[in-house]
């Protein structure tokens, strides 16, 4: 049975991990016969958004504590992730990836990445273990993998150009499909960069998890 690590970035599309993408990842992995363990960095969120109004709130939240909501409490700090214990890795999307795990939401092509996350991902890559990046998470690929690694965030030209400038090679992709870089063992799918419903998001994520397990 394959064991997959999932790295979350909070709870909620606008300031953390995209909840539907995170849950669909867990569901499809389980249905495909794999086990998973969630992780998240024990750091403060960049900011907190009221998901009802879209307005920023004057409060602080912890990425690990918020991610625990999605994982039903079964989660570990990113610092506890031992690559040797897992066959593959998944990073669901959501603005937490672009605000908490990196500065992509603010700096685009000049963005930086949270170094402990970069280290963990590169350890998976060095051991030739596959990684799936969902939604906006492929914006991290240029920080982690060799120049030219294939990636997709769907078809948004401005975001795609920033992905290219960071060193990845963007490939346009429909919501129900995936892009695979077989050499680097990197899988990406647009999910809610394009999805108009949870069913839409599910199609590409299911394919991505199938490919991830096959590659592992």
- Residue 173 is among the residues annotated as catalytic for this protein: no
The whole-number pLDDT of residue 2 equals 97
pTM over 0.85: yes
Percent of the residues in the chain that have a pLDDT greater than 70, as a whole number: 100
Boundaries of every domain in the chain: 3-137+174-215
The whole-number pLDDT of residue 26 equals 98
Q: Write the DSSP string, 87-156.
A: SEEEE--SHHHHHTSBSHHHHGGG--B-HHHHHHHHHHHHTT--EEEETTGGGGHHHHS-TT-EE---S-
CB atoms under 10 Å from CB of 60, counted, come to: 9
The whole-number pLDDT of residue 36 equals 98
Identified catalytic residue from 38, 121, 135, 173: 135
Q: What would the pLDDT profile of 112-163 be if each residue is shown by its tens digit? A: 999 999 999 999 999 999 999 999 999 999 999 999 999 999 999 999 999 9
The whole-number pLDDT of residue 129 equals 98
CA dist 88 and 109 (Å) reads 27
Classify domain 3-137+174-215 by CATH architecture: 3-Layer(aba) Sandwich (3.40)
Q: What would the pLDDT profile of 74-123 be if each residue is shown by its tens digit? A: 999 999 999 999 999 999 999 999 999 999 999 999 999 999 999 999 99
Q: What is the mean pLDDT of the chain?
A: 97
Percent of the residues in the chain that have a pLDDT greater than 90, as a whole number: 100
The whole-number pLDDT of residue 171 equals 97
């Amino acid at each position: 049975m394959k064991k997959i690590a999932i790295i979350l970035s909070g709870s909620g599309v606008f300031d953390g991990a995209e909840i539907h993408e995170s849950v669909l990842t867990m569901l499809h992995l389980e249905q495909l016969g794999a086990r998973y363990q969630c992780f998240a960095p024990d750091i403060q969120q960049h900011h907190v958004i009221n998901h009802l109004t879209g307005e920023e709130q004057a409060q602080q939240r912890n990425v690990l504590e918020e991610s625990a909501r999605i994982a039903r409490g079964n989660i570990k700090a990113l610092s506890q992730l031992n690559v040797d214990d897992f066959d593959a890795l998944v990073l669901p999307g959501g603005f937490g990836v672009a605000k908490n795990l990196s500065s992509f939401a603010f700096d685009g092509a000049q963005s930086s990445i949270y170094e402990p996350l970069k280290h963990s991902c590169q350890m998976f890559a060095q051991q030739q273990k596959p990684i799936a990046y969902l939604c906006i998470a492929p914006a991290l690929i240029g920080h982690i993998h060799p120049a030219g690694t294939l990636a997709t965030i769907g078809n948004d030209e401005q975001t795609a150009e920033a992905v290219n400038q960071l060193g990845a090679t963007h490939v346009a992709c429909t919501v129900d499909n995936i892009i695979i870089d077989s050499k680097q063992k990197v899988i990406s799918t647009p999910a809610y960069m394009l999805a108009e419903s949870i069913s839409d998001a599910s199609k590409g994520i299911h394919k991505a998890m199938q490919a991830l397990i096959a590659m592992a």
